[in-house]
Amino acid sequence: MANTAKSGAMSDKNKTSARIIRYSPFYVMFTPVLIILILFYYLPILGLRWSLYKFNPFIPEPVYIGFENFMTLFKSARFWAAFSNTLVLSIVNLCLSMIFSVGIALLINEIGHALAKKFVQTVIYLPHFLSWVVVAGIFALILSVEGQTGGFVNTILIKLHLIDEPVYWLTEKKAWRLIWYIANRWKETGWGTIIFLAAVTGISPDLYEAAEIDGAGKLKQVWYITIPSLMETILVVFILNLAKVMNVFESVFVMYNEMVYDVSDVIQTYTYRVGLQGGANYGYSTAVGIFKSVISLILVSAANYTSGKIRGRGII
């Protein structure tokens, strides 16, 4: 028994070394990528230890303070409010983005005229190239309360007799999130279709031909062929984006104001305000970073696990 186990291990070992030799060209190819990965990502990651230190630019040596940075963070009521805002805003936004981008990609795919298709694509990518500052300016203009009947939105709502006088929408707690979702969709939906369009073009025409021979209508073809073929890409994009949900910053920063802090303040804007005047507290900001990473890790792992349960494999 012991003997066979040993020889088994031996042959495994041999197999591994044989495999390593077989794959040696791959390792050579991979080396430059690995070097960049280590230099720019793994060396800086050593800096995570600073979350346990009191560390600002002026202290000659960082002072070990245990979990005090985390405690300061967790003690603040505003931080927890910001945390829940972050989750709500970015997860709702992520779900909306998946629905809209996939839907529009499918509809674009149905445009028969090649030139029209090109034109539509080019136009809906445009807003992506405007910076958030500019987008915020455009939305402020549309939602303005200035002049007789205010901006575009107020004028229309007054004409429809839904409101009597212009409403200062950007400071309305009930409206702010909706405005933010719309601004995000306006700016990024078109851009989000790119990856799905690329995936759609990758689906074999044979599949559709076979379905047509079977007498499946267009709608059935979309439902039974296109969407299942896209599922892999949809899941990958969803899970990858889930890793970024804690990082929402600029879009909120340029659109929020003190009247709507309750519904708009996210972790990044909160720490930005705290960091702005409190000096450069690198220990504290590293602690915030770790907190965000842990939450992302939980979200991504959960999604990956669920995807594994349902589809037999996760994306990672």
Partner 1 sequence: MKKNIILKAATVAVALMMASSFLTACGSEQGAAAINDLPLDDTCVDGVAKPEKIIMMVDTFMKVENREVGGKDVVCEEYKKKTGIDLEIEMPSHNQYYEKVNLSFASGNVPNVIELGSTYYPNYSAYGALWDMTDAYESSTAPMKSIIDEQFVDALRIGDEGNKRLYGFPMARGNGTITYVRGDWMKELGISDPKNYDDFINMLEKFKTIEDCYAPLTVAGFINSESPYNQYLKEFYWDADPHFYYDDNEKKYVDGMSQPAMKDALKRLRDAYEKGLIDRQAVTNSTADCRNKFNTGHAGCFNYWAGAWNKTLEQNMSNLTKKGNEDVVKPLAPIVETQYVERPPTAMSITSKTKNPLGVYKYLIEYSHDGGEGQMLFTHGVEGENNGKEKTGHWKNENGKIVALPYFSSENLVEKVYYSPELTITEWNDPIEADHEVVNSSKIFRENSYMVPVPKTSDEMSDALPELDTVRKEVISKIVTGVTGIDDGIKEYETRAAEEIEIILNALNS
Partner 2 sequence: MRQKFSFRKEYRGRTIFVILNTVFFIFIMACMLIPVIKVLVDSLDANPAYGMNFWPTQFTLDAYIIILSKTELYLPFLISIQNTLLGTFVGLAIACIGAYILIQKEMPGVRLFSYMFMFTMIFNGGLLPTYLVVRDLGLLNTCWSVVLTIAMNVYNLVLMRNFFEQIPASLFEAAEIDGCSPFGIFIKIVLPLSKPALASIGLFYAVAAWSEYFHYVLYITDNNKFNFQVKLRSLILDGESLSGDYAVNVETIKNASIIVAILPFMFIYPFCQRYFISGVTMGAVKE
Binding site for partner 1 (CB under 8 A): 29, 32, 35-36, 56-59, 76, 78, 140, 144-147, 168, 170-171, 257-259, 261, 273-280, 282
Token look-up 């800086």 returns 44
Residues 119-158, interacting with partner 2 (CB under 8 A): 120-131, 133-134, 138, 141-142, 144, 146-147, 151-152
Residues 199-258, interacting with partner 2 (CB under 8 A): 201-206, 217-218, 232-233, 236-237, 240, 243-244
Q: For partner 1, give the closer residue by CB, 44 or 112.
A: 44
59 binds, among partner 2, partner 1, none (CB under 5 to 8 A by kind): partner 1
85 sits near partner 2 (criterion: CB under 8 A):
no
Determine the Cα–Cα distance for residues 91 and 100; give it in Å rounded to an integer.
14
Integer CA distances (angstroms), 241 to 80, 94, 164, 235, 236, in order:
22, 7, 41, 10, 8
Q: For partner 2, give the closer residue by CB, 78 or 244.
A: 244
Q: For partner 2, give the closer residue by CB, 26 or 67.
A: 26
7 binds, among partner 1, partner 2, none (CB under 5 to 8 A by kind): none
Q: Smallest distance, Å, CB 261 to partner 2?
A: 22
138 binds, among partner 1, partner 2, none (CB under 5 to 8 A by kind): partner 2
**What is the sign of the dihedral through the CA atoms of 156, 254, 291 and 284?**
negative
145 binds, among partner 1, partner 2, none (CB under 5 to 8 A by kind): partner 1
Instruction: Please choose, out of 59-67, 159-167, 264-272, 285-293, the segment that lies near partner 2 by the rule CB under 8 A.
Output: 285-293
Which position among 140, 145, 225, 315 is part of the footprint of partner 2 (CB under 8 A)?
A: 315
Q: How many chain residues touch partner 2 (CB under 8 A)?
A: 86
19 binds, among partner 1, partner 2, none (CB under 5 to 8 A by kind): partner 2
Determine the Cα–Cα distance for residues 225 and 188; give it in Å rounded to an integer.
26
36 sits near partner 2 (criterion: CB under 8 A):
yes
